[in-house]
Amino acid sequence: MSTFKYAAFPLLASAFFLGSCGDNQTSQPETETPEVETVAETPMVETTDKFTYANYKDVRLTHIDLNLDVNFEDKVLDGVAILDFERIDPETDVLVLDTKDLTINSISLVNGETTMPVEDYTLGEADPVLGQELRIPLSEDADQVLIDYTTSPTAEGLQWLSPEQTAGKEDPYLFSQAQAINARTMAPLQDTPAVRLTYSATLRVPDGLRPLMSASQGEENENGEYQFEMPQPIPSYLIAIAVGDIEFKAINDHIGVYAEEYILDAAAEEFSETPLMEEANEELYGPYRWGRYDLIVLPPSFPYGGMENPRLSFMTPTLIAGDKSLTNVVAHELAHSWSGNLVTNATWRDAWLNEGFTSYVENRVMEKLYGERRAVMEQALALEDLKRDIAGAARPELTQLKLPADITHPDDAFSQVAYVKGQYFLIFLEERFGRDAFDPFLKSWFNDHAFESVTTETFLDYLDDNLRADYPDAVTDAEIEAWVYEPGLPETAKNPQSDAFETVQMHSDAWVAGDLSTFELEEIAAEWSTHEWLHFLNGLPDDLASEQYEDLDKAFSLTGTQNAETAFAWYMLAIKTDYEAAYADLEGFLMSVGRGKFIYRLYDALKENGKAEWAERIYAEARPGYHPIAQRRIDDILNE
Ligand code: BES
Ligand code: ZN
pLDDT tens, residue by residue, 456-480: 999 999 999 999 999 999 999 999 9
| Nearest CA, atom 5, ligand 1 | 414
What is the per-residue DSSP string for 139-163?
PTT--EEEEEEE--TT-TTEEEE-G
Q: What pLDDT digit, counting tens, does each position of 340-353 carry?
A: 999 999 999 999 99
Q: How confident is the model at residue 305 (pLDDT cuts 50, 70, 90)?
A: very high
**pLDDT at residue number 339:** 98
**pLDDT at residue number 43:** 38
| DSSP code at position 435 | H
399 and 392 in contact (C-beta within 8 Å)? no
**% of the chain surpassing 70 pLDDT:** 93
| Nearest CA, atom 3, ligand 1 | 307
Residues near ligand 1 (Cβ within 6 A): 179-180, 304-308, 328-329, 332-333, 336, 355, 414, 419, 597
**% of the chain surpassing 90 pLDDT:** 92
Quote the CA–CA distance of 464 and 382 in Å, as a whole number. Answer: 28
Give SS3 for 636. helix
Ligand 2 centroid vs 352 CA: distance in angstroms?
A: 9
Give SS3 for 504. helix
Q: Which atom of ligand 1 is nearest to the CA of 358?
A: 11
Q: How confident is the model at residue 637 (pLDDT cuts 50, 70, 90)?
A: very high
CA angle 453, 456, 460 (to 5 degrees): 115
Cα 277 to Cα 330, 377, 435: the distances in Å are 8, 18, 19
173 and 166 in contact (C-beta within 8 Å)? yes
Which ligand has the shortest distance to the CA of 238?
1
Q: How confident is the model at residue 9 (pLDDT cuts 50, 70, 90)?
A: very low
260 and 302 in contact (C-beta within 8 Å)? no
Cα 314 to Cα 68, 136, 215: the distances in Å are 21, 34, 13
Nearest residue to 155 (alpha-carbon basis) of 124, 133, 188, 122: 188
Q: How confident is the model at residue 129 (pLDDT cuts 50, 70, 90)?
A: very high
Q: What pLDDT digit, counting tens, does each position of 13-69 carry?
A: 223 222 233 333 333 333 333 333 333 333 333 579 999 999 999 999 999 999 999
Q: Which atom of ligand 1 is nearest to the CA of 413?
A: 7
- For the entire predicted model, the pTM comes to 0.93
Q: Is residue 136's pLDDT more than 60?
A: yes
Q: Which atom of ligand 1 is nearest to the CA of 355?
A: 13
Give the chain's mean pLDDT: 93
Neighbours of 450 (CB within 10 A): 14
| Nearest CA, atom 15, ligand 1 | 305
| Nearest CA, atom 10, ligand 1 | 307
Ligand 2 centroid vs 459 CA: distance in angstroms?
A: 18
Which residues neighbour 61 within 8 Å (Cβ) at sequence distance 6 or greater? Answer: 83, 84, 85, 189, 190, 195, 197
Q: Is residue 141's pLDDT more than 80?
A: yes
Nearest residue to 464 (alpha-carbon basis) of 13, 27, 10: 27
Q: Which atom of ligand 1 is nearest to the CA of 304?
A: 21
Count H helices and E strands in the chain, helices first.
22, 21
**pLDDT at residue number 189:** 99
Quote the CA–CA distance of 146 and 158 in Å, as a whole number. Answer: 22
Ligand 1 centroid vs 332 CA: distance in angstroms?
A: 8
- The residue whose CB lies within 8 Å of the most ligand 1 atoms, and thus the one to mutate among 327, 348, 352, 355, is 355
Quote the CA–CA distance of 48 and 192 in Å, as a whole number. Answer: 10
Exposure letters 519-547 (e unless 16+ CB within 10 A, then b): eebeebbeebebbbbbbbbeebeeebeee
**pLDDT at residue number 41:** 39
Ligand 1 centroid vs 610 CA: distance in angstroms?
A: 30
Helices (H), 518-563: 518-525, 530-539, 546-556
Quote the CA–CA distance of 418 and 339 in Å, as a whole number. Answer: 13
The residues annotated as belonging to the active site are 333, 419
What is the mean pLDDT of the segment spanning 396-409?
Answer: 97
| Nearest CA, atom 20, ligand 1 | 305
Which residues neighbour 220 within 8 Å (Cβ) at sequence distance 6 or greater? Answer: 226
Give SS3 for 200. strand
**pLDDT at residue number 640:** 86
Which residues neighbour 35 within 8 Å (Cβ) at sequence distance 6 or greater? Answer: 14, 17
Which ligand has the shortest distance to the CA of 353?
2
Q: Are strands 247-250 and 226-235 parallel, antiparallel or unpaired?
A: unpaired
| Nearest CA, atom 8, ligand 1 | 179
491 and 61 in contact (C-beta within 8 Å)? no
608 and 136 in contact (C-beta within 8 Å)? no
Ligand 2 centroid vs 332 CA: distance in angstroms?
A: 6
**pLDDT at residue number 389:** 97
Ligand 2 centroid vs 336 CA: distance in angstroms?
A: 7
Ligand 1 centroid vs 335 CA: distance in angstroms?
A: 12
More confident residue, 385 or 15: 385
Q: How confident is the model at residue 218 (pLDDT cuts 50, 70, 90)?
A: confident
Quote the CA–CA distance of 265 and 259 in Å, as a whole number. Answer: 9
Which ligand has the shortest distance to the CA of 179?
1
- The residue whose CB lies within 8 Å of the most ligand 1 atoms, and thus the one to mutate among 237, 304, 407, is 304
